A and B are shown apart, each in its own frame.
Chain A
C-alpha cells in the first residue's frame, strides 16, 4: 500500500467516525460546540506551535514554497472572480467563491507526517500563517460586496478576529520560537506536544460530524462547479505555480496537497454570518470532503512523478 493511501485511511476513517457519532446520536449535534472550541482555541495552536518551532526550515525550500502557496490562493481568487460572469444571485456567488479558495489544512496536517515525513508536516504547518489571513481577507471582501447580511459587517471586528485567530497566533509564536531556538525540547515543549497531538483527531471528528448529505441536493449545479474548482482547478494551479517557482520534491507534493484539500467548515460559518448561501456551502464541504479521499492521493501522486 502506498504511504499516502495508508496515511489517508486513518484520516478519513476518523472523519467517518465523526459522522457516525453525530448521525447515530451517540454524540448529538448540539454537543459538538465545546469539542470544536477546545480543538481550535487551545489544542490546534499548541500543535502548530510545536510543529513549527521544532522544524528545520533551512533544509527545505521554505521561501519559494510559501511564495507559491500565497500566489496559489491569489490566482484561485482571480479565477473565482471570473465565475461572477455566470448569472446567479450574489449570496450564491459568494459561496461559490469561498468554495474555490478556502482550504481545509487540517486534513493535510493529519496526513502529512505519514505521507511526507517531518519535513512535509513542518511545511504544511508553516503554510497556515500567511494563507489563513489572506484567504479570510479575500472571502470577507467578496461577502461584503455580494453577501446579503441584514447587518452592516463590522470590518474592524472582522479584522480583529482574523489577526487574533488562535491558529495564526500559534503559527507566529512557533516561528518566533524557531528563530530564537527556544522551546525545542524540555517540559514546556513536551506539554505542548502532548496537548497538540489531541487536536487533529478532534478536528477530524468535528469535520465528520459537520457533514450534511441532505445539503448536497440544495444546488447540485453550482456545487458541481465549486467542487471542480476546489478539487481539479486549484491543485492544477498550485502545481503549475510550484513548477514555475522551482518548488520540487516533498515541498511540491505538500503544495499540491494544499490545493487539493477539501473545503473548510469555516466557509459555512462565514456564509451564515455575512449573508452567503450557507446550505450550498454545507453541500460543497460535504462533497469535497468525500471526493478528496479519491482526488487527494491522485494529485499527490502526480506531484511526486
Chain B
C-alpha cells in the first residue's frame, strides 16, 4: 500500500520540485515564465477541462451525491475560511486571500494523481467531480478579490465572462449534455477525432502545469502572518478533505468516487489564484505564501488521506 501510494505521488511532486529548481536557479529565467503561465491558464488548462468534462457522464447513476459533495466541499471551504478570518480579525484583503486559497483546489494535480492511481477508470468520475467545484470556486475567488477594491465588482463581471476556466467548464457541460444526442448526426469516432487535438494539447501538458506550480512556490512569502498562513493550509489540506470524507460516508459514496473526491478537494491550492490576486491588486505576498504552504502540507497529508480512503 505504502509503495503504491508513493508511486502515485512521487512523480507529480518531483515535477513540482523540478519547476521550483528551474526557476530558483534561473535555468528558465523569471521573464520567460510569463508566457508559460499564460499558455497554461489560457489554453492548456481549458483544453484539459473541456475534454474531461465533455466526456463525463453527468447523468450516470450515483452522480447526484458526487456533484453535491463536490459543491459542498467548496461551500465548506467558504464557511470555514470566512469564520476563521472573522476569528483572527483579518482585514478584508486578507480575508479575500484566505477565501480564495481555501476554495480553489489544484485540478491538474488531481487529474494527474487520479490517472496514476486509477488509470482509465478514473475518467468515470474526474469530470463529474471537477465541474461544480471549479465553476463555484472560480466565481467565489473573482468576487472575493474584486470585492476588496473600489469599483472591483464592475470589473468582476467582465472578468468572469472572459475567464477561460469558467468558459471551458460551461462549454464542456453543454457538450456533455448534448453528447448523447449526437450519434445520429456525428459518429462517436468523428467526435473523438475532433477532440483529439485538445486531448493532445491538454492531457499532454499536465506535467507542464505541475512544473509551473513548482516555479510559483515562494518560500520567502512564508515569513510573517503565520496564523493566517497555517489557517489556510489547515482548512485546505486537512479540514476540507476530512469533511468530504465524512460527507461521503453520510451520502453513501464509496470506492473510486470517494477516493477521487478526497484527492480532488484535499489537494493544494491552484497557482492561478495568485494570477487573480494580481489582477485585482489583492494580497499577492500573502496569497503566494498560502499557496506554497498548502503545497508543502498536501505533499504529506494527501497521500495519507488517500491511503485512508483505500483502506476503508
Which A residues lie at the B interface, using CB under 8 A?
1, 6, 9-11, 13-14, 16-17, 21, 26-28, 30-35, 37-38, 41-43, 110, 187, 190-191, 193-198, 200-202, 204-205
| Cα distance, A43 to B15, chains bound together (Å) | 11
Inside 8 A of B116's CB, which chain A residues have their CB?
Answer: 190
Main secondary structure of the interface of B (DSSP, over half): helix
Task: Tell me the residues in window 1-30 of chain B with beta carbons closer than 8 Å to chain A beta carbons.
Answer: 6-7, 10-12, 14-15, 18, 22, 27-29
Question: Closest chain B residue to A15 by CB distance?
Answer: B197
B32 A33 Cβ-Cβ under 8 A? yes
Given A6-B193, A187-B6, A201:B200 Cβ within 8 A? yes
Inside 8 A of B79's CB, which chain A residues have their CB?
Answer: none
A38 B38 Cβ-Cβ under 8 A? no
B196 A10 Cβ-Cβ under 8 A? yes
B193 A1 Cβ-Cβ under 8 A? yes
| 26 A-B pairs in the complex with CB atoms less than 8 angstroms apart | A6-B193, A9-B196, A11-B200, A14-B201, A17-B197, A27-B43, A31-B34, A33-B32, A34-B32, A34-B35, A38-B22, A38-B36, A42-B18, A187-B11, A190-B7, A190-B10, A191-B15, A194-B15, A194-B210, A195-B15, A195-B207, A197-B203, A198-B207, A200-B204, A201-B202, A202-B208
Task: Tell me the residues in window 30-47 of chain B with beta carbons closer than 8 Å to chain A beta carbons.
Answer: 31-36, 38-39, 42-44
Main secondary structure of the interface of A (DSSP, over half): helix
A38 B208 Cβ-Cβ under 8 A? yes
Q: A191-B10, A194-B210 are in contact. List 18 more A-B contacts (CB 8 A).
A: A14-B200, A26-B42, A28-B35, A31-B38, A34-B34, A35-B36, A38-B32, A42-B18, A187-B7, A191-B11, A194-B112, A194-B206, A194-B207, A195-B207, A198-B206, A198-B207, A198-B211, A205-B43
Q: Does B120 contact A (CB under 8 A)?
A: no
Q: Does B199 contact A (CB under 8 A)?
A: yes
A43 B208 Cβ-Cβ under 8 A? yes
Q: Does B205 contact A (CB under 8 A)?
A: yes
| Cα distance, A38 to B27, chains bound together (Å) | 9
Inside 8 A of B10's CB, which chain A residues have their CB?
Answer: 187, 190-191
Give the 5 A-B CB pairs with smallest separation, nearest first. A13-B197, A34-B32, A31-B35, A201-B204, A10-B196
Determine how close the nearest CB of chain B comes to the CB of A96; give it in whole angstroms: 32
| Cα distance, A28 to B39, chains bound together (Å) | 10
| Cα distance, A37 to B10, chains bound together (Å) | 25
B14 A10 Cβ-Cβ under 8 A? no
| Cα distance, A204 to B22, chains bound together (Å) | 22
Inside 8 A of B196's CB, which chain A residues have their CB?
Answer: 6, 9-10, 13
Inside 8 A of A27's CB, which chain B residues have their CB?
Answer: 35, 38-39, 42-43
| Cα distance, A206 to B206, chains bound together (Å) | 17
A198 B201 Cβ-Cβ under 8 A? no
B38 A194 Cβ-Cβ under 8 A? no
Q: Which of B18, B206, B207 has the most CB of A within 10 A?
A: B207
| Cα distance, A26 to B12, chains bound together (Å) | 28
Inside 8 A of A17's CB, which chain B residues have their CB?
Answer: 43, 197, 201
| Cα distance, A16 to B197, chains bound together (Å) | 9
Task: Tell me the residues in window 104-122 of chain B with beta carbons closer than 8 Å to chain A beta carbons.
Answer: 112, 116
Question: Closest chain A residue to B42 by CB distance?
Answer: A26
Inside 8 A of A43's CB, which chain B residues have their CB?
Answer: 207-208
Determine how close the nearest CB of chain B comes to the CB of A202; give it in whole angstroms: 6
Given A34-B33, A38-B211, A9:B193 Cβ within 8 A? yes
| Cα distance, A37 to B207, chains bound together (Å) | 15
Inside 8 A of A16's CB, which chain B residues have their CB?
Answer: 197
The listed residue (B11, B22, B35, B112) touching A35 by CB distance below 8 A is B35
Determine how close the nearest CB of chain B comes to the CB of A197; give it in whole angstroms: 5
Task: Tell me the residues in window 205-229 of chain B with beta carbons closer than 8 Å to chain A beta carbons.
Answer: 205-208, 210-211
